Amino acid sequence: MPDGALSALDRHLALIGFMGAGKSTLGPQLAAQLGRPFVSVDAVVEERAGASIAELFVERSEAAFRELEERAAVDVLGQLPLAVIELGGGALGSGSTRGALAGGAFALLLDTTPDEAWERVAASGRPLARDAQEFRALYEQRRELYDEIADGRASDLDGAILAAAGVHVATGATNGLGDLVPGTGGIELVVDGGVEPLHGDRVRAALGERLAASHVVPAGERAKTVAEGKRLWSALRLDRDGTLVALGGGSTTDLAGFVSATYLRGVAWVPVPTTLVGQVDAAIGGKTAVDLDQGKNLVGAFHWPARTIVDPELLDTLPAAELANGLAEVVKTGLLAGEPLWELPRSQQVRRCAAFKAAVCLRDPLDRGERAQLNLGHTFAHALEAASGYQLPHGRAVALGLLAALRLSGLEEGARTVEAVLEPRPVRVDREAAWAALLRDKKAADGRPRLVLLEAPGKPRIGLERDEDDVRAALDLLIE
């Protein structure tokens, strides 16, 4: 995997690949998911020339078309706003187009075989798809250039979203960490204390000679403190070209991400989540934070990972309680997506949920709008966690928070689904402490909580206020 552009966070997303790879089909879908316009370079050429591509080939020659294509591609790649841009199969033959790609785009190669491509375009009338043998020869001729230029690869919509976000999901990926962590500088590893005996040695071996040091932090929420952050800041010896790798659950990746955001004013980091919560939610999207006594995640930073490496195989060592913890985030994501994602096999749950969150975060990386939907149930969950002194597992808190949010949304069927799948039980915490924490929530305004509710599954509404008595009553139902 090359270390060119690492994501499409602040760059165009350019779709490259052979004709018939699906760029014109997948492109508009991908643009809709990322909240960006879709631009076809071929369509720009046709509009400017007042003729179809086939007509240009016949009436002016392929060389004349390539000149028009180059101008259009360079123009489109140099414009704002950020877009999903479809490049024709032969567009990379232009050095100017390649330069424009390198300067401002994440090049995503849509994989296909010559047989698949021929089946799709044989009857299309395309100028370069009239002879099967010549078609396959052209495929082989261009394949090496595609591989050289590509910053990422995909074959479906979820894969394209994940690649655009710099998220690598693959069973067994942990064994290839040395190749997957971008850059050439030194690496320091932060390991969850509970994960260290399970995977620490294997990960250090996989990181190889670039690994300079390893640091173990407490398991769970106890890691997310200013004191732990200070300990890591003092211990790190990374240069600005170094990378901090975080191996563990959401608390470990939150801490390490915050430390990397602030050490030397920001160094690269790579989360390797080992819990279901981390793989479907916490490690994706660049939010990092530590807790204060007054509330959860009150000190943090947005710091997008250089790459996020998700290996579902790591979940095999999780105890059942931790898998149940993560299932709450799967249910949350399914409610937001309007799909019963909790019914999928585990590896598919991880991939679908990760892609959903990645798309939302690419649309709103700094949490200034619709990303707030990801906090469905979390206003209540964070209040319960704070009131418990962070002894309440995050997943159990989220399950309860979802129940409260669905009740306030008037979605009794959704509430019954949460009860059936997650089996939430009221917790024993101080009611006044929980209420105080809820009022201090980051999304509150003028001391009034702002909630994420659902109009219907798949239709979240953010920034809603409800009568204070109703919110307090919903919280009280979650407490013994």
Within this chain, do residues 136 and 217 fall inside the same structural domain, yes or no?
A: no
The 3-state DSSP class for residue 291 equals strand
Within this chain, do residues 42 and 156 fall inside the same structural domain, yes or no?
A: yes
Within this chain, do residues 141 and 89 fall inside the same structural domain, yes or no?
A: yes
**Cis before 81? omega within 30:** yes
Final residue in a domain of this structure, among 107, 132, 165: 165
Within this chain, do residues 79 and 161 fall inside the same structural domain, yes or no?
A: yes
Does any domain span residue 6?
Answer: no
Q: What is the pLDDT of residue 3?
A: 58
Mean pLDDT of 51-56: 93
> Cα 39 to chain center, whole Å?
23
Does any domain span residue 66?
Answer: yes
Mean pLDDT score across all residues of the chain? 95
Does any domain span residue 359?
Answer: no
Within this chain, do residues 188 and 123 fall inside the same structural domain, yes or no?
A: no
Q: What is the pLDDT of residue 440?
A: 85
Mean pLDDT of 246-262: 97
- Has residue 128 got a pLDDT over 90? no
Final residue in a domain of this structure, among 165, 196, 218: 165
Q: Which amino acid, one-letter code, is at 45?
A: V
- Has residue 383 got a pLDDT over 50? yes
Q: Domains in the chain: how many in total?
A: 3
**CB 426 within 8 Å of CB 305:** no
Mean pLDDT of 211-223: 95
Does any domain span residue 328?
Answer: no
Within this chain, do residues 114 and 55 fall inside the same structural domain, yes or no?
A: yes
CATH number of 382's domain? 1.20.1090.10
Within this chain, do residues 251 and 313 fall inside the same structural domain, yes or no?
A: yes
Give 193's DSSP letter: T
CATH number of 149's domain? 3.40.50.300
> pLDDT for 71-117, tens place per residue?
999 999 999 999 999 999 999 999 999 999 999 999 999 999 999 99
- Has residue 12 got a pLDDT over 90? yes
Does any domain span residue 2?
Answer: no
> pLDDT for 19-45, tens place per residue?
999 999 999 999 999 999 999 999 999
- Has residue 160 got a pLDDT over 80? yes
Give 130's DSSP letter: S
CA gap 332, 315 in Å, rounded? 19
Final residue in a domain of this structure, among 290, 318, 346: 318
- Has residue 1 got a pLDDT over 50? no
Mean pLDDT of 224-237: 97
- Has residue 453 got a pLDDT over 70? yes
CA gap 387, 294 in Å, rounded? 9
| CA distances for 122 relative to 42, 96, 216, 293, 348, angstroms | 19, 30, 57, 65, 33
**CB 161 within 8 Å of CB 34:** yes
Predicted model pTM: 0.94
Listed in sequence order, the DSSP H helices in 150-223 are 157-165, 177-180, 201-207
CA gap 11, 23 in Å, rounded? 18
- Has residue 364 got a pLDDT over 90? yes
Within this chain, do residues 111 and 88 fall inside the same structural domain, yes or no?
A: yes
- Has residue 2 got a pLDDT over 60? no
Within this chain, do residues 151 and 187 fall inside the same structural domain, yes or no?
A: no
Within this chain, do residues 133 and 206 fall inside the same structural domain, yes or no?
A: no
Mean pLDDT of 174-182: 96
> To the nearest whole percent, how much of the chain has pLDDT over 90?
90
Where is average pLDDT lowest: 55-59, 121-125, 298-302?
121-125
CATH number of 249's domain? 3.40.50.1970
Listed in sequence order, the DSSP H helices in 50-86 are 53-59, 62-77
Does any domain span residue 254?
Answer: yes
Does any domain span residue 364?
Answer: no
Q: In DSSP terms, which residues pair with 38 in a beta bridge? A: 84
Residue 412: Cβ-neighbour burial (10 angstroms; 0-12, 13-18, 19+): exposed
Within this chain, do residues 22 and 63 fall inside the same structural domain, yes or no?
A: yes
- Record the tokens describing residue 262, joined without a space: 């602030």
**What residue numbers bound the domain in which 295 lies?**
168-318
Within this chain, do residues 49 and 148 fall inside the same structural domain, yes or no?
A: yes
Pairing, β 38-40 against β 84-86 = parallel
> To the nearest whole percent, how much of the chain has pLDDT over 70?
99
Does any domain span residue 349?
Answer: no
